[in-house]
Amino acid sequence: MAYSIPEEIVEKVRDSADIVEIVGEHLPLKQSGRNLKALCPFHPEKTASFMVSPEKQIYHCFGCGAGGNVFNFLMQIENITFPEAVRTLGKRYGIKIPQTTSKVSSEASLAYKINAMAAKAYHAALSGTKEGTAARKYLRSRGITEEIEEKFLIGFAPSDGGYLVLEAKRRKVDPQKLVALGLAIEREGRPRDLFRNRLMFPIASAGGRILGFGGRVLDDGQPKYLNSPETRLFRKSETIFGLYKAKGELRGQGRAIVVEGYMDVIPLHAGGFTNTVASLGTAFTFEQARKIKRYCGEIVLAYDGDQAGRLAALRACDAGVQAGLKVRVVSLPDGKDPDSYLRAEGKEALAGLIKNASHYVDFALAQSPTDDLEDAVKFVLTIISRVGDPVRVSLDLKRLAAASGVSEVALQRSLEGISRKKPVTPQERKHKNERKQEPTACDTVEKSIVSILIGLPECVDRIFDAISPSEFTDRRMRKIAETILDRKSRGLAFDTSALLSVIDDEPARTLLIDTSIDTDITGDADKLVADHIAGMKRRVIEKQIAVLRKQIEIAEKEGDADLLQSLLTKRQGLAQDLRLLST
């Protein structure tokens, strides 16, 4: 793995970080012998198969195959790069990370810094400008307190169109960088602010980095809501607004309230519904649903009570069940959105609607695009066909049978027909390809030797004096052995966690995790090492004898007496070596 951060700094950060502490902030871990377990955040499951080893500082899911060290976990859970994971942990543990020399990483880092600068500038304008003071009055009328302003870093974009450009120049940031990030546009040959006379809402990643912005106009201007354009940092279809602030509550409550936009999320947080997130006004996507699935197992859709909101909720049901989430739907009165209902009816009334939200099967049957019962049932079955868990499918069919009067047997047959005919979506294909593949079997002797090399570092010299990494027949094990030898020669750590930071060959990484997670070296170390060296050498000799056997057969057929005698002598010598290894 190529480093843009010095290797010794990476080692220092890894040694300082505790994987249990980091994983525990994202998942509820429970003790299981010497390890800890949790439900895997990377695939749907009911029985915990995600394991963390405090001793080896690694994690592994026996269900989907995800695994690695503390850096890998952060990369997966926060969707960040390796250098970003190292920097995140370095900042946490007070380790100074030198600036990267990677052009790509440098550009991304600068983009994040500019977005952060913009967020602070907009936030300052909310209280520091006359227009911003008027905007704050609007926020108060919506029940948004100063505390909530600070929590979400709400800001204001003045109407003159030059506020952010001037702030960038003052901070010696090229205004063209604002254009590249969608914060400014070219007007009459010069950059001008994109957002004007709007309340500004920074849109953050799950890790807290600002990806883009949403702006709500305060007059009759159009469009009413405006998001940043898509950039290399910001993809609306993959981003969940409010996730950074809500993820702790999602884990704690086991569910997320999903609304349509930031002006629903923020008032609901102000009202105490701190597990609320939004899909930024776009259709709720499979990618967004999978992100939520990392933190909880259920979503409650609280979309607007009009026809458009109900149709959006129907589409969201499909994405949610496909991602493995339980899905329920709040039925708001016509013309109401979650915020207006909360202000009109109060917290208890909204909490009651959420508590009594409809199961997606009941909602989809009632809101089907057709009044024909047969077509409505088939419509619901197309959604059920996205459910991956057979137990959940069975329960959903039972519910549909009770609601529609159609027998479970008939529903099951119809579902089988739909499942055979339905096209595989790109998301399903991607998810299928991401599932764990059956690992190729590995020679037990080679696997054990790698376990000894990692578990008994004091025996490494003795093993490599007798065995060369080139003698490992399994390509994956040979890669691991070569890496251990290289790091040992340079005085670097070569425990499992350290190796996972430098081995980028995925089959080798998978085998390394599999080898390490359940392996504990016990017994007489000297005898263990001697036995495995002998076993490895015995296997090498047996292969040499097998090759000689074929050569002897050829020499006999060709009548080459001299060559035959030479080959027989070699075989006799190898047989003697084999007998000595067996004594």
Domains, the chain, ranges and CATH?
7-92 (3.90.580.10), 103-234 (3.90.980.10), 247-429 (3.40.1360.10), 444-577 (1.10.860.10)
* Residue 359 pLDDT: 96
Q: Are 153 and 204 in contact (CB under 8 A)?
A: no
pTM over 0.95: no
* Residue 281 pLDDT: 66
* Residue 425 pLDDT: 55
Give the Cα-Cα-Cα angle 481, 484, 486 (nearest 5 degrees).
Answer: 110
What single-letter amino acid sits at 56?
A: K
* Residue 106 pLDDT: 63
* Residue 77 pLDDT: 86
Q: Which residues of the chain have a pLDDT value below 50?
A: 1-2, 101, 430-432, 434-439
Contacts of 486 (CB under 8 A, 6+ apart): none
Q: Is 368 helix (H, G, I), strand (E, B) or coil?
A: coil
pLDDT digits (tens, 9 = 90+) for 69-112: 999 999 888 878 888 899 899 988 888 887 654 555 567 778 88
* Residue 436 pLDDT: 44
> Cα–Cα distance between 166 and 171 in angstroms, integer?
9
What single-letter amino acid sits at 460?
A: V
* Residue 435 pLDDT: 44
Give the Cα-Cα-Cα angle 171, 172, 174 (nearest 5 degrees).
Answer: 120
If you write DSSP's letter for every residue of 2-29 in order, what string do you get? --SS-HHHHHHHHHH--HHHHHHTTS--
Strand partners, 465: none
What is the SS3 string spanning 166-203?
HHHHHCCCCHHHHHHCCCEEEECCEEEECCCCEEEEEE
* Residue 395 pLDDT: 95
For residue 366, give both structure tokens. 């009632």
* Residue 426 pLDDT: 52
Dihedral, CA atoms, 422, 427, 433, 435, nearest 10 degrees?
-100
